[in-house]
Chains A and B, each alone.
Chain A
Amino acid sequence: MIKRNQPVLLERVNKMRQATNVGEYQEYQGFSGLLKAIEMEKEAILDELDLAHLRGRGGAAFPLGKKWRHLYGAKGDTKYIVCNADEGEPGTFKDKALLKHDPLSVIEGMVIAGYLFSAKAGYIYMRGEYLGIQKIFQEALDNAEKAGFLGENILGIPGFNYNITIISGAGAYVCGENSALLNSIEGKTGRPRVKPPHLADVGLYLQPTLVNNVESFAGIPVILREGGQAYRELGTEDGGGTKLICLSGHIKNRGLYEVNLGTSLQDILYSEEYGGGSSTGRPLKFIHFGGQSGPIGAVQHLEDCIYSYEGLWDKNLSIGSGAIVVMDDQVSIVDYLVQVAAFFAHESCGKCTPCRLGTTRILELLTKFNNQTAVVGDLERLEKMLMHVTNLSACGLGQSVANPMKSGLAYFPEEFEAGIREAVAPVKGGLW
């Protein structure tokens, strides 16, 4: 039985001596989710997932039950299971902990998916910066196969043949986008595909494909073991379960934590159990949620904020990957956003023009504000450019560039205005 405020995903992380040992994993209820799943009707598995209301933990927060049901209904004899372990979102290091310290939980989640969808092949695409962890994960895969949880006739079930292959990334943030990730697995450059079609219908090698994040897969065994309702009760109305959060920046206790969805943000920032307040002695100024592509909130406006999907949506914020990057009052929002813009300009894959050129133009404009060489009209140009890049880009990278910029502008407009050199005459003419 699981209760609120107990570690669920990090339970074994803090206890296991050898993360890849199947016997030890089973001592901590490992593989009991899979054992339950194979006793259930497949429709009943989907019902439990719906009940659990787990939202995808990669950042998009799409209800996992719906995604799995879509793939279940997709036509095709060959279905692929893919785990997105490309974790490249700055401020995020949660998947690393699971991959390194509890790889078998991710494997168990992927095997349950393999069973449900009668898949033969699973892939885990792990970022190239985690090379050492790839070795640990491979050891976990080998051990799971030896113990009969992967390979041929898994658990003695005839025809339940399923294997998982590790594919390494090699340094491309855009490969965290699901269709780019699939292209990369196919041995191509990792540029996103045009959608629709949905990946659940036309995915890896043009077959129906499930792509979920590491943390999402790790939650699946818990849901089946404890029941969808029990899992849901760990969270709130709009999203069940616990969430791994990564605290970094000017916060005393930087690191990885697991919280119930519904925890107060003030607790996360200031209580000794979590953040412990400012590390610099200066007041905290703003928080960047969910990685570089997430929105920014001003600390002084977040006193009553609840860390949950709906709690953040109410404030025009979002959980995203779970990154919580906190900055103190000595950081200029414009200076901060220049670095964020530089990140996107660097990481745009170049396939679609709005993102390739737009990210560069945004960086140039923000740099002007930062150097106090912006001119009257630049603010409007910036807003228009943000709108273009959001609406015209082909994938989530370009579509989310404006999130931090727009929220930064909304909370701290005076810092942008201070970057405008008033002496210069207004520029006439079109606004792109």
Chain B
Amino acid sequence: MSSLSLAEKEAIILANDSDPQRILNMLIAIQYGSEEGYIDEETAQLVGDHLHLSQARVYEILSFYAILKTEPQARYVLKICNSTPCLFTGGAMLAEVLETILEVPADEPTPDGLFMYHSIPCIGACDQGPVIKIKDTVFADLTEAKVYQLIDDLQRGCYQEL
């Protein structure tokens, strides 16, 4: 996966009619389309220019909404649900297992830049917990063994689309 070109970013903005109402749609599409998984300053400026918003306004939005990021992310960001339905049905195991496998604490990328994990409040898959979400894909009903398998699969490039 490579990062989006200027033309591709502009295409996303235009596909949303350069409409400030749909600023979140655009920012998410651009962020998920980029290899580093964040909105850099240049992109924030680009969106601001097209929507006639100051960069401060764009950054106000970037810093308010949890999905949007202003710092480079790992190649695969593993999101764990820490709300009660997931946490108390086996979800507490996930952070522990991930720390063991990846040897980094939450929110810190692995030295090779491939993985990072952190907790998020809810992904709407409470009946399938424990879950790990990567971008828009949910890996459900996880066990310790399945987590090992998932990390292995990701390392071997089985999920290039993510």
Q: Which residues of A contact B (CB under 8 A)?
A: 87-93, 96, 123, 127-132, 134, 165-173, 184-190, 246-250, 254-256, 279, 288, 292, 323, 325, 327, 331, 336, 339-340, 342-343, 346-347, 349
Contact = CB atoms under 8 A, between A and B. Distances in A.
B146 interface: no
Contacts of A250: 88-89
B85 A187 contact: no
Nearest to B25: A168
Contacts, number: 135
B23 interface: yes
Given A128-B65, A346-B121, A184 B24 contact: yes
A292 B124 contact: no
Given A90-B84, A171-B68, A173-B121, 6 more contacts: A90-B85, A91-B83, A130-B124, A134-B25, A246-B126, A254-B126
A185 B39 CA distance: 20
B60 to A, nearest CB: 6
A128 B124 CA distance: 11
Given A129-B124, A170-B66, A347-B121, A189 B84 contact: no
Given A165-B21, A170-B65, A172-B65, A88 B28 contact: no
Contacts of B67: 128-129, 170-171
Given A248-B126, A336-B84, A169 B24 contact: yes
Contacts of A132: 136
A331 B91 CA distance: 14
B50 interface: no
11 contacts: A88-B124, A90-B81, A90-B121, A129-B122, A167-B25, A170-B27, A172-B64, A248-B89, A254-B126, A339-B82, A339-B88
Given A128-B24, A131-B136, A170-B28, A325 B126 contact: yes
A246 B127 contact: yes
B72 to A, nearest CB: 18
B109 interface: no
Interface string B112-142: 0000000011111111110001001000000
Contacts of B122: 88-91, 129, 173
Given A89-B122, A343-B83, A346-B121, A189 B61 contact: yes
B14 to A, nearest CB: 16
B20 interface: yes
A348 B84 CA distance: 17
A88 B124 CA distance: 7
B46 interface: no
Interface residues of B, number: 39
A256 B127 CA distance: 8
Nearest to B64: A189
Interface of B: 20-25, 27-28, 32, 51, 53, 60-61, 64-68, 81-89, 120-129, 133, 136
**Residue in B81, B124, B128 with the greatest tally of chain A CB atoms within 10 Å:** B124
A91 B85 contact: yes
A289 to B, nearest CB: 12
Contacts of B83: 90-91, 292, 339, 343
Contacts of B28: 128, 131, 168, 170
A349 B60 CA distance: 13
B70 to A, nearest CB: 13
**Residue in B25, B68, B122 with the greatest tally of chain A CB atoms within 10 Å:** B122
B120 A325 contact: no
Given A187-B20, A187-B21, A249-B85, A171 B126 contact: no
A189 B65 CA distance: 8
A55 B23 CA distance: 33
B88 A327 contact: yes
Contact of B123 (A129, A189, A249, A346): A129
Contacts of B22: 165, 167-168
Nearest to A327: B88
Given A90-B85, A249-B88, A325-B84, A168 B60 contact: no
Contacts of B23: 187
Nearest to B123: A129
Nearest to A173: B121
A186 B85 contact: no
7 nearest CB pairs, A to B: A90-B83, A171-B66, A170-B65, A171-B67, A187-B20, A254-B127, A90-B122
A172 B120 CA distance: 11
Contacts of B61: 187-189
